[in-house]
């Protein structure tokens, strides 16, 4: 009576999206062992970028921490224009393809692909890719089964993004209330979130940390919420033009603990305690003013006691604050900002995070030019 094993039972258990994709891939490979890779690329509507998000591979594929403009990927644009998935039973037709993602997939021995767009309520979310090491393998019978699994994957991704967006929507509403009282330069949160992603990508690419694309994307999404606790700071302190008294400074510094409390309340209200990356959000809200020598707040953490996501956010936030115009100051040049960051990296800021920005100055400038209010 109980001899059958549910091949998708792993989906019933708590885990990351990537772990759940591995479960689905394992089920697909039982029937179609030639499917060597299933991957999902997410779409950022604001920037028009496609980004690697999650992937399940039977062998190591180097297509990670990668992003490209959808406008530059004509073959993927055609999928959206046609409103139908794309079958390529022989990838040699792209032998002249110059795009990095095309070259990587071919270099890793894949010979055919099946690509489907993902939607939620009619909104485009990204693409699902099935890659095979055999040509001419995507028959109608195979595609029929893959379509079922693709919609299961799409449903899983859409559900998680929906949960995240619901939580972020509530937090963004609170964040807008903060910034309506304490206005910052236009584009600040977008820039510092992009700087945070750049830092994380670089730290992973040079082997400093084993961040996957799923972690980096959550870091990017949660970064703008770092000062959410300021909603609990009184106006006479938050908006005070002059120097704060010691007592007022302590109240201002309490925005970190207030932020963590607000995040914890929302996590409880939304039932997200088991969400895999929720501690990233907690740590960003609570620890982004901790510094390496222990002189930060609220817990006076030292060195690697400070979560890496908070160390990343601190560098991104300070760099953008320095290089942005404020009512009380002119923007610093990137050169002057880097000079200060390098000094601070001796005992205050994470040197690897500072170096990540400095080593990618072209991308830094591109981010600065991408958002309203930037230089």
Helix (H) / strand (E) element for 128: namely strand 123-132
Domain spans of the chain, in order of start: 9-158, 182-370
pLDDT in tens, 250-309: 999 999 999 999 999 888 887 777 777 889 999 999 999 999 999 999 999 999 999 999
Nearest CA to 345 among 307, 374, 321, 314?
314
The per-residue pLDDT for 6 is 85
Q: How confident is the model at residue 102 (pLDDT cuts 50, 70, 90)?
A: low
- Percentage of the chain lying above the pLDDT 70 cut: 90
Tell me the sheet residues that pair with 129.
39, 115
How far apart CA 295 and CA 306 sit, in angstroms, is 12
User: Among all chains, which residue has been given the structure tokens 């001419």?
Assistant: 136
CATH architecture of 9-158: 2-Layer Sandwich (3.30)
CATH superfamily assigned to domain 182-370: Hypothetical protein af1432 (1.10.3210.10)
Once rounded to an integer, what is the mean pLDDT over residues 188-196? 92
> Which DSSP state fits 273?
T
Tokens of 11: 């989906």
């Amino acid at each position: 009576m109980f001899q059958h094993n549910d091949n998708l039972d792993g989906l019933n258990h708590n885990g990351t999206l990537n772990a759940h994709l591995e479960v689905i891939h394992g089920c697909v490979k039982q029937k179609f062992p030639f499917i060597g890779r299933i991957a999902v690329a997410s779409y950022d509507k604001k920037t028009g970028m496609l980004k690697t998000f999650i992937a399940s591979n039977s062998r190591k594929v180097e297509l990670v921490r990668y992003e490209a403009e959808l406008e530059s990927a004509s073959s993927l644009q055609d999928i959206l224009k046609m409103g139908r998935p794309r079958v390529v039973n022989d990838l040699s037709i792209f032998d002249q393809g110059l795009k990095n993602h095309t070259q990587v997939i071919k270099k890793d021995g894949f010979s055919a692909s099946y690509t489907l767009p993902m939607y939620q309520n009619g909104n485009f979310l990204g693409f699902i890719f099935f890659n095979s090491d055999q040509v001419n393998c995507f028959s109608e019978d195979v595609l029929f089964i893959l379509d079922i699994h693709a919609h299961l994957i799409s449903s899983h991704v859409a559900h998680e993004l929906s949960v995240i967006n619901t939580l972020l929507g509530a937090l963004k509403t609170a964040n807008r209330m903060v910034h309506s009282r304490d206005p910052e330069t236009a584009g600040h949160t977008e820039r510092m979130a992009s700087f945070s992603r750049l830092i994380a990508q670089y730290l992973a690419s040079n082997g400093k940390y084993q961040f996957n694309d799923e972690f980096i994307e959550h870091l990017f999404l949660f970064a703008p919420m770092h000062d959410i606790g300021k909603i609990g700071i009184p106006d006479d302190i938050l908006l005070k033009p002059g120097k704060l008294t010691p007592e007022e400074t302590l109240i201002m510094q309490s925005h970190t603990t207030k932020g963590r409390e607000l995040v914890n309340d929302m996590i409880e209200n939304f039932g997200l305690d088991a969400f895999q990356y929720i501690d990233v959000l907690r740590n960003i809200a609570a620890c982004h003013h901790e510094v390496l020598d222990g002189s930060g707040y609220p817990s006076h953490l030292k060195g690697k006691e400070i979560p890496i996501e908070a160390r990343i956010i601190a560098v991104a936030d300070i760099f953008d604050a320095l290089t942005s115009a404020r009512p009380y100051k002119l923007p610093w040049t990137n050169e002057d900002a880097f000079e200060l960051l390098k000094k601070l990296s001796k005992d205050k800021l994470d040197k690897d995070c500072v170096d990540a920005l400095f080593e990618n100055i072209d991308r830094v400038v591109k981010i600065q030019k991408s958002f309203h209010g930037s230089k």
